[in-house]
A = this chain, B = another copy of it.
């Protein structure tokens, strides 16, 4: 899509600097953008490319404008403004409305006329597909499931029976919503399956990354609140609740019945134990292991730093002696005190 720079500036309530009639029809990085492309500067890491960028315009802060003489949109948060301008410039992909001839739609479904049901997809009996929904090729929507208006299931998404997805969801390929939770009772060493009779409820404006899995609840539902953003290959166990506007990066694992607060940021590879609560606004850094509740917002971490394998090995062995080291230190302190006292 083509936009004039003044139109784009207005769309993000930014201040225009330079030529209002400059035409933008694409985006680029400061380093590699060319004519007709708009770039942004939001991190010091890339400031070195500002002076010589070939971009037709740059989104930046007032402070960075000082070092730049080309066309610009000046805003408080260039990355946020870029997100909005990029969405305008990229435009919406054209999507055919209607049911593809190769799709299988069972009886008793409600499929909105404005919805698009892709090739080789399957919609089970009693499912509901809302207005303007895009169901890409190879998706499976089992019986009784509901997909809210304006949601996009890119391709090959599986939504199991009775799962409810809200409006404006964006769900990437390989996602599985509502597979059975991992519920097992033990009968003299033999596992007995505990039927998973709850469902999954996904709020509005939720994004779910490729191959992420969200299990259905055992009795009650697994709940993902409005505005939650999930990256790829995340595991969400049964009866988890994720508070609104929380973002979780790739390969995180949330065990059953844990409760994540609102507006948390959970980095990649983090593991959270079963039945644990995390306070609103908590940040957890990559690959941390959470085995106790977090009652106060803050930034939390675990793990050890990378080292050469040789040094790591030397130190890792000592980890198994840490308690002993601590006791020996205490002992030597005591002996020293005794000596001093005798003097």
Segment among A3-11, A17-25, A65-73, A249-257 that sits at the interface with chain B:
A249-257
Whether B309 pairs with A315 at a CB distance below 8 angstroms is no
Q: Which chain B residues lie closer than 8 Å to A253 at the CB level?
A: 233, 250-251, 268-269
Whether A180 pairs with B176 at a CB distance below 8 angstroms is no
Whether A321 pairs with B326 at a CB distance below 8 angstroms is yes
Tell me how many residues of A have a C-beta within 8 Å of chain B.
129
Verify if A45 is at the interface (C-beta below 8 Å from B): yes
Given contacts A209-B182, A245-B189, contact A320 B307 (CB under 8 A): yes
Q: Which chain B residues lie closer than 8 Å to A118 at the CB level?
A: 122
Whether A309 pairs with B298 at a CB distance below 8 angstroms is yes
Verify if A80 is at the interface (C-beta below 8 Å from B): yes
Whether A193 pairs with B207 at a CB distance below 8 angstroms is yes
A245 and B263 alpha carbons, distance in the complex (Å): 40
A323 and B102 alpha carbons, distance in the complex (Å): 64
A183 and B80 alpha carbons, distance in the complex (Å): 11
Whether B250 pairs with A182 at a CB distance below 8 angstroms is yes
A121 and B307 alpha carbons, distance in the complex (Å): 46
Whether A185 pairs with B77 at a CB distance below 8 angstroms is yes
A328 and B220 alpha carbons, distance in the complex (Å): 51
Verify if A52 is at the interface (C-beta below 8 Å from B): no
Enumerate A24-71 residues with CB–CB distance to B below 8 Å.
27-29, 32, 45
Given contacts A182-B249, A306-B290, contact A173 B172 (CB under 8 A): no
A291 and B195 alpha carbons, distance in the complex (Å): 35
Given contacts A155-B142, A247-B191, A303-B303, contact A185 B323 (CB under 8 A): no
Whether A303 pairs with B301 at a CB distance below 8 angstroms is no
A237 and B269 alpha carbons, distance in the complex (Å): 13
Given contacts A176-B210, A220-B32, A232-B213, contact A193 B87 (CB under 8 A): yes
Pick the contact of A80: B185, B255, B311, B325 (CB < 8 A).
Answer: B185
Q: Which chain B residues lie closer than 8 Å to A184 at the CB level?
A: 83, 229, 247
A245 and B187 alpha carbons, distance in the complex (Å): 11
A28 to chain B, nearest CB (A): 6
Pick the contact of A286: B271, B294, B308, B320 (CB < 8 A).
Answer: B271
A312 and B118 alpha carbons, distance in the complex (Å): 49
Q: Which chain B residues lie closer than 8 Å to A314 at the CB level?
A: 322-323
A283 and B231 alpha carbons, distance in the complex (Å): 26
